[in-house]
């Protein structure tokens, strides 16, 4: 049964703005990325989502397709973004079956909770490889198609594009590294690398009509990250550190995605759109929170569901 539209996008967007366009998304079966793709599909796009778990990815593709009658959504599972040949094959299939590749969302990521002295070299390498190398491999596999799309849909900002927009990339990042976050050194390093890459792509590929931007979500309700990486007590306390007074929704990430990929985002390039209710401005130990003394004790992380049991 199709989701209610307002669950994954605001009602301010005009139907059909992404007609005959194709979005390619790694991590596409995840809570946030699937909402981003679902919104694009509802507004006219077709899509190709990439994931590790074949069944989950294919089922999510079928579910996303219910957002618009006649939508085509391909789910390609068993793809490890650390393997460039698999992403190359996925991009080729996307173009072969859907006709083009106009937008890319690099959303694959890995995470768990652990202080640096409990993060093994292999775990650190795995997170960096998934986030940074995976984003790089995604860009490399799709860039020729994006350049072609950007050339066809270039705009001068003065006249409405006759055939819409294209040639745009969004990297899904985070705000963890802005002020430093306990238990997240590995992910902070990786996301900082993703941010740097996005800016480099904007500078180097901008003259070809490519735009490359970052969306940095804050705490988003009902996502796997919130469920795995915090306790219920921690979630209740964290509201105090969010100026907007609540967790965000996947709809709000999807709205930022539409903005950057649509005609409204033509002149935004190499920038970070933070969608976090102002949380990172009060990051650290705001509002009188106590210092986490367990960091000094050497004890294993407890009280969260996404602790040191990671297989990375």
The residues annotated with a catalytic role in the active site are 173, 191
Residue with tokens 């950057």: 260
- Provide the pairing of β-strand 46-50 with 73-76: parallel
Handedness of CA 99, 20, 36, 256 (dihedral sign): positive
- CB 93: neighbour CB atoms within 10 A? 13
Report d(CA 93, CA 72) in Å as an integer. Answer: 13
Instruction: Indicate the burial class of 110 (C-beta count within 10 angstroms; 0-12, 13-18, 19 or more).
Output: buried
Under 8 Å between Cβ of 128 and 194: no
Both tokens of residue 268?
């935004």
Collect all residues with Cβ–Cβ distance below 8 Å to 293 and sequence separation of at least 6: none
Residues 67/36, Cβ–Cβ less than 8 Å: no
What single DSSP character describes residue 63?
H
- Check if the beta carbon of residue 166 is closer than 8 Å to that of residue 150: yes
Alpha carbon separation from 302 to 121, 144, 183 (Å, rounded): 21, 46, 12
Strand-pair category, 272-275 with 211-217 = parallel
Residues with Cβ < 8 Å from 119, sequence gap 6 or more?
185, 186
Q: From CA 228, how far away is CA 246, in angstroms rounded?
A: 18
Place of tokens 């050339």: 151
């Amino acid at each position: 049964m199709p989701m209610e539209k307002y669950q994954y996008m605001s009602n301010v967007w005009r139907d059909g703005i992404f007609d005959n366009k194709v979005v390619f998304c790694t991590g596409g079966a995840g809570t946030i990325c699937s909402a981003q793709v679902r919104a694009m599909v509802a507004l006219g796009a077709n899509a190709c989502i990439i994931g590790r778990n074949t069944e989950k990815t294919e089922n999510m593709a079928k579910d996303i397709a219910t957002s618009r009658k006649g939508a085509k959504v391909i789910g390609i599972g068993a793809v490890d973004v650390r393997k460039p040949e698999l992403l190359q094959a996925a991009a080729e299939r996307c173009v072969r079956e859907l006709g083009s590749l106009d937008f890319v969302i690099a959303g694959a990521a890995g995470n768990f909770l652990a202080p640096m002295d409990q993060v093994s070299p292999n775990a650190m390498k795995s997170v960096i490889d998934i986030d940074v190398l995976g984003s790089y491999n995604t860009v490399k596999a799709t860039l020729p198609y994006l350049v072609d799309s950007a050339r066809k849909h270039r705009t001068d900002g003065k006249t409405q594009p006759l055939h819409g927009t294209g040639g745009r990339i969004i990297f899904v990042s985070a705000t963890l590294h802005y002020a430093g976050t306990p238990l997240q050194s590995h992910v902070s390093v990786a996301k900082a690398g993703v941010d740097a890459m996005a800016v480099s792509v904007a500078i180097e590929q901008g003259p070809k009509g490519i735009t490359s931007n970052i969306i940095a979500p804050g705490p988003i309700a009902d996502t796997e990250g919130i469920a795995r990486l915090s306790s219920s007590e921690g979630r209740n306390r964290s509201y105090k550190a969010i100026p907007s007074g609540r967790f965000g929704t996947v709809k709000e990430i999807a709205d930022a995605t539409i903005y950057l990929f649509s005609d409204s985002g033509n002149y935004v390039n190499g920038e970070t759109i933070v969608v976090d209710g102002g949380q990172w401005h009060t990051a650290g130990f705001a509002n009188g929170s106590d210092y986490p003394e367990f960091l000094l004790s050497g004890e294993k992380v407890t009280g969260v569901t996404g602790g040191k049991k990671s297989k990375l």
